[in-house]
């Protein structure tokens, strides 16, 4: 089976695939100080919890936007799985052209999101990842990466608001029943969730006007906070919680045949 690993700033997603079928999925916190041995012990426990063994893993593919952890994952694959991890980057021949000023700046998560949209849904597309940042990736009608937008994530915005204002505090990230609040908690929740949803709607509208085929572009949402924002907007055509892991599986097919 294929182990797909997506390393982001706040979480590491792992998916175990038999062909294109995902057999198990996990998410653990990104801890830059952990060693390959520690991550290996964690992986062993996760596999055992679903009835698998490390010996069941025949290959490993990795996407990472946390450079210090990339060699850690490679060492884990080499030492505990007996495999050389296939690491995806901007030079990988995935059939997605990077039509940007500096292709080497493009995070592999953004490339994989476009590949997954192209292979699994349709293009043109606007793919929105809700994580530490809220990023918008624009896929052309040919399935190439046109560019996009990176905005502060919902969590960053909420934490900054509570930290910077002495009379405000942390609130849960859920949409209140109405936009107009009658108390401080309601006011803050409205601003955090509905404000983020309005930002998303506004940026999508502007991207549609700028990108080729924008009026026909579908909107795909993924990432840990997509469900929160989805309660405050109907702009998403698709919610794809496993988009990056599935993109890694499709990348593996292209790279290993």
Which residues face 137 on adjacent strands? 127, 148
Contact criterion met (CB below 8 Å) for 122 and 97: no
Partners of 61 in the beta sheet? 4, 86
The 10 Å Cβ neighbour count of residue 230 is: 17
- CA–CA–CA angle 49, 50, 51 (5° rounding): 95
Burial class from Cβ neighbours inside 10 Å (0-12, 13-18, 19+) for residue 17 reads buried
**Are residues 47 and 56 in contact, defined by beta-carbon separation less than 8 angstroms?**
yes
**Nearest CA to 66 among 19, 111, 11, 121?**
11
Q: How many CA atoms lie within 13 A of 38 on its CB side?
A: 10
Q: Report yes or no: 19 and 56 within 8 Å, Cβ to Cβ.
A: no
Q: Where are the beta strands (DSSP E) in 175-250?
A: 218-222, 238-239
Active-site positions?
109
C-alpha distances out from residue 94 to 22, 116, 128, 230, 237, Å: 21, 11, 20, 30, 25
């Amino acid at each position: 089976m294929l182990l797909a690993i997506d390393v982001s700033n706040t979480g590491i997603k792992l998916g175990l695939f038999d062909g294109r079928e995902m057999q198990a999925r996990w998410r653990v916190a990104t801890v830059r100080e952990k060693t390959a041995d520690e991550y290996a012990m964690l992986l062993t426990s996760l596999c055992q919890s679903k009835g698998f063994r490390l010996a069941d893993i025949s290959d490993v593919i990795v996407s990472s936007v946390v450079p210090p952890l990339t060699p850690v994952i490679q060492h884990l694959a080499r030492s505990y799985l007996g495999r050389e991890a296939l690491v995806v980057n901007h030079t990988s021949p995935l059939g997605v052209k990077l039509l940007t000023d500096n292709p080497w700046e493009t995070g592999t998560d953004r490339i994989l999101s476009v590949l997954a949209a192209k292979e699994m849904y349709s293009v043109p597309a606007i793919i929105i990842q809700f994580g530490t940042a809220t990023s918008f990736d624009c896929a052309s009608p040919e399935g190439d990466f046109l560019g996009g937008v990176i905005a502060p994530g919902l969590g960053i915005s909420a934490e900054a608001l509570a930290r910077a204002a002495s009379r405000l505090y942390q609130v849960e990230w859920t949409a209140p029943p109405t936009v107009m609040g009658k108390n401080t908690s309601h006011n803050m929740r409205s601003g955090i969730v509905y404000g983020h949803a309005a930002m998303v709607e506004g940026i999508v509208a502007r991207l549609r006007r700028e990108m080729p085929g924008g009026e026909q572009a579908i909107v795909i949402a993924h990432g840990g906070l997509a469900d929160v924002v989805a309660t405050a907007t109907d702009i998403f055509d698709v919610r794809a919680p496993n988009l990056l892991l599935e993109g890694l599986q499709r990348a593996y097919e292209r790279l290993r045949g």
